[in-house]
Chain A
Amino acid sequence: DQQVKQNSPSLSVQEGRISILNCDYTNSMFDYFLWYKKYPAEGPTFLISISSIKDKNEDGRFTVFLNKSAKHLSLHIVPSQPGDSAVYFCAASAGGNTGKLIFGQGTTLQVKP
């Protein structure tokens, strides 16, 4: 049973436009959500996170929105740059800051110049 789902395997956007990556979850016990970015042949790197007590967190070009009633979160990248092209993973955890994360399947973002 996939508790964290990223239903779009890929996304292509033009440089300068907004990229929106989506993630759905089923476990209402999740209280902390993270986004990771991964380039080929490298480990994932942390991008941004949000606690379940918030509905928005912003860090530069990256904003994460959380809709708890819909069990949905999204990552907005504005403006998108070619260097943002990577696989993006949504992750969630329950019960505190253990670091034990459940990941989605990933979305491959391609930003075209």
Chain B
Amino acid sequence: DVKVTQSSRYLVKRTGEKVFLECVQDMDHENMFWYRQDPGLGLRLIYFSYDVKMKEKGDIPEGYSVSREKKERFSLILESASTNQTSMYLCGASGNTGELFFGEGSRLTVL
């Protein structure tokens, strides 16, 4: 199975801080994704990438940016964190089967 590792399980940041969420996958998959999960809303796609240095906006990209300098690594950046970005962030990777493998999630609290 694909292993997707998210660098931080729990983070607490202050409003206005810059936040980096790191994600690494070990199966050489082309596709990587960032979702956020909120109660009653399910998982919503923030950004995704089909190749190195390539990125596309998902359904809720506002307030976020991403970086994919290497195939195995996909970073989510909050340039200036706000309280409405308090959420569970989930990174995923997929190959050509269409199945998306997720990391364990990063719980971000913005005070």
Q: Which residues of A contact B (CB under 8 A)?
A: 4, 6, 9, 32, 34, 36, 41-46, 49, 89, 91, 93, 96-106
A-B contact count (CB 8 A): 69
**Beta-carbon contact of A99 and B31 below 8 Å:** yes
> B residues near A, CB below 8 A?
4, 9, 31, 33, 35, 40-45, 48, 50, 90, 92-105, 107
Q: How far is the CB of B89 from chain A (nearest CB, A)?
A: 10
Q: Quick one: which of A36, A98, A106 contacts B50, CB cutoff 8 A? A: A98
Bound together, the chains give a CA A41 to CA B102 distance in angstroms of 12
Determine whether the beta carbon of B98 is less than 8 Å from that of A42: no
* A67 to B: closest C-beta gap in Å: 20
B100 near A43: Cβ-Cβ < 8 Å: no
Instruction: Name the 9 nearest CB pairs between A and B, nearest first.
Output: A99-B94, A97-B98, A43-B102, A103-B43, A105-B42, A103-B42, A99-B31, A99-B100, A43-B104
Closest to B90 in A: A43
Chain B residues closer than 8 Å to A93, beta-carbon distance: 98
In the complex formed, the residue of B with least CB distance to A104 is B42
In angstroms, Cα B107 to Cα A4, docked, is: 24
Q: Are B42 and A99 in contact (CB under 8 A)?
A: no
In the complex, what residues of B have CB within 8 A of residue A34's CB? 98-100
The smallest C-beta distance from B61 to any residue of chain A, in angstroms, reads 14
Q: Write out the residue numbers on chain A whose beta carbons fall within 8 Å of the beta carbon of B43.
A: 44, 89, 91, 101, 103
Q: Can you name 18 A-B pairs with beta carbons within 8 Å?
A: A4-B42, A34-B100, A44-B43, A45-B102, A49-B99, A89-B43, A97-B94, A97-B97, A98-B31, A98-B94, A99-B33, A99-B92, A99-B100, A100-B31, A103-B35, A103-B43, A105-B41, A106-B42
